[in-house]
Amino acid sequence: MDDHELAEAVERGRAIQDRFEALGYARLVDAVAGYPRGSVVLPDGSVVVGYPSIGRLQSLAAGLRRHYSGPFWAEEKIDGFNVRIFRYADTLYALSRGGFVCPFSTDRLPDLLDPAIFDAEPDIVLCAEIAGPDNPYLEGHPPQVTEDVALFVFDMMYRGTSEFLSQDEKMARIERYGLPSTRIFGRYLPEDVEPLRKLILQLDAERSEGLVFKGEGDAGRAKYVTGWSNVADIELCSDQLLELPPGYFTKRLLRLALFAREHGRLADPELERSLGHAFMSGLTHAVERSQTMGRVGVQFRCRFRERRNAGHFMRHVRATGGHRIRLAENTPRREGEYWVLEFERVLERMTGTLATALAGASQFD
């Protein structure tokens, strides 16, 4: 993107100038010159293009029939957060979906992948999910990451283009550079509903989030999640019942019902108990926290290699989460090679509503 275009976008509020240590950059908060929201313009004018959102199928058989007429790949969907990793002036950075340099992900990149690919292809951008219990954004994590965080590459592109490398090109690089990647289950055709049904039920039993389908050629992408992932999301977030948009819960309930009906899990007592438990465990925990602590909040813990990156992260979180963030005492603190950061996001509506209810106030419907 040339300087003039960028200056005009900044002027119109469609791009915002930002900085992370030595790197000055602009992130697009709206589409500009054909680049989507979340794209980032680097000092040399090159662009790390925003990662597109992927439509979600709610019916496996009908969805595949409608979206694909030719071959597509099925890969595992990982319950983490999306980053785009690039190298600029000899430094690796990780961008969040919105186009911020993420201080946490950037700090941890040396632990998470071998950067050799960037020596061979300096303009490459790796699209990856970072997931695990010690992440600063999400409460959920995939079953295969039991501590800290791990990284799963699932797409590659070059700066300046929104086109991804083909599946073959991507798989060749994953192998050549030993990159950690999402599981690739294989190449399917639209009529392969039965093998894919078996696969999604196996992933459901493994407590995986689900599948992403990637069409060959011009065919697009789509995702399809397990029934279990809906229950897990509700369980993790039921203590945030009043903070999240109501659609958070209603969409997951509908998806779960559609999954149960399509895959023969109707009136399954174990599924019903899990769903009831998902709501009750978070909510009764919230009531308990309200009674014992006087507030309801979500705890986060994550590790940094560099203390200054923990500082960058906390400034970023405070700028976006404001006074709802409470740092733990004595944080960040040294633990082995790392700096451990612990903080809480206070749930203000849950805190207020429960305090009022427990004080004996009456409510008018």
Based on the shown chain and the rule CB under 8 A, indicate whether residue 266 belongs to the binding site for a second copy: yes
The yes or no reply on residue 361 touching a second copy (CB under 8 A) is: yes
Using rule CB under 8 A, residue 271 touches a second copy? yes
Distance CA 227, CA 250 (A): 14
Structure tokens at 60: 């496996």
Longest dimension (CA), the chain: 67
CA separation for the pair 32, 5 (Å, rounded): 8
Which window, 39-47, 122-130, 276-284, 321-329, contacts a second copy (CB under 8 A)? 276-284
Among 17, 70, 288, 294, binds a second copy (CB under 8 A): 288
Residues 31-70 close enough to bind a second copy by CB under 8 A: 53, 55-59, 61-67
Q: Is 74 in the site for a second copy (CB under 8 A)?
A: no
The residue (of 30 and 272) whose beta carbon lies closer to a second copy is 272
User: How many other C-beta atoms lie within 10 A of the C-beta of residue 342?
Assistant: 17
We find the least distance from the C-beta atom of residue 29 to a second copy, in angstroms, to be: 18
Q: Whose Cβ is closer to a second copy: residue 55's or residue 321's? A: 55
DSSP state of 217: T
Separation between Cα atoms, residue 22 and residue 266, nearest integer Å: 56
CA distance 297 to 324: 9
Residue 336 CB neighbours (<10 A): 7
Q: Which residues lie across from 179 on neighbouring strands?
A: none
Cβ(47)–Cβ(60) under 8 Å?
A: no
**Complex with a second copy: residue 22 or 267, whichever CB lies closer:** 267
Q: Which of 69, 284, 299, 320 binds a second copy (CB under 8 A)?
A: 284
Would you say 55 or 294 has its CB closer to a second copy?
A: 55
By CB atoms closer than 10 A (0-12, 13-18, 19+), residue 294 is: exposed
In the complex, what is the shortest distance from the CB of residue 359 to a second copy, in angstroms, rounded to a whole number? 6
Q: At what angle do helices 269-293 and 348-358 cross, to 10 degrees?
A: 80
Q: Say whether residue 162 binds a second copy (CB under 8 A).
A: no
Closer Cβ to a second copy, 193 or 346, answer by number: 193
CB of 187 to a second copy, least distance (A): 20
Within its chain, how far is the Cα of 273 from the centroid?
A: 27
CA 157 vs CA 30, 99, 151, 160, 241: distances in Å: 21, 16, 17, 9, 38
If the CB atoms of residues 92 and 193 are measured against a second copy, the closer one turns out to be: 193
Backbone torsions φ then ψ of 274, nearest 5 degrees: -60, -40
Instruction: Give yes or no for a cis peptide into 332 (omega within 30° of 0).
Output: yes
In the complex, the smallest distance separating the C-beta of residue 152 from a second copy, rounded to whole angstroms, is 20
Site size toward a second copy, by CB under 8 A: 60
One residue of 180, 186, 276, 321 binding a second copy per CB under 8 A: 276
Any idea which residue has 């995986």 for tokens? 208
Q: Which residues, in sequence order, are CB contacts of 286 under 8 Å at separation 6+?
A: 238, 239, 241, 296, 347, 350, 354
Candidate list 131, 256, 317, 347; residue touching a second copy; CB under 8 A? 256
Identified binder of a second copy from the candidate list 257, 298, 325, 327, rule CB under 8 A: 257
SS3 26: strand
Q: Does 324 bind a second copy (CB under 8 A)?
A: no
Choose one: 11-19, 144-152, 238-246, 295-303; the region binding a second copy (CB under 8 A). Answer: 238-246
Q: Is 277 in the site for a second copy (CB under 8 A)?
A: yes
Q: Which stretch binds a second copy (CB under 8 A): 10-18, 147-155, 191-199, 245-253?
A: 245-253
Q: Does 283 bind a second copy (CB under 8 A)?
A: yes
Contact positions vs a second copy (CB under 8 A): 53, 55-59, 61-67, 222, 238, 241-242, 246-247, 249-251, 253-254, 256-258, 260-261, 266-267, 269, 271-281, 283-284, 286-288, 291, 353-354, 357-365
